[in-house]
Amino acid sequence: MRIQETTHRDEPRPRHPAVERSKTSKVNTTPKRSILAAIGNTPMVELPNLSPKEGIRLYAKLEGHNPTGSVKDRIALCMIEQAE
């Protein structure tokens, strides 16, 4: 199956806030005081070419940008903070 780009996206569309942040944010290279401080603000990207039909917008969350590359990083952070 070949996915083709459509032309129905000529008009501006509202973007998800995380998408807007990811377009303007730079990779943060500031050293963190601990691995826990590096968790959060996972970037999201829109996948317009994978949309099954007009009006449906798909996003991917780049969990690999978390310190351990896992969606469970935030859960672990919450557990650690509550235990302290």
Enzyme catalytic residues:
72
Distance (Å, rounded) from C-alpha 17 to C-alpha 10? 20
**78 touches 72 (CB < 8 A):** no
The rounded distance, in Å, linking the Cα atoms of 57 and 80 is 35
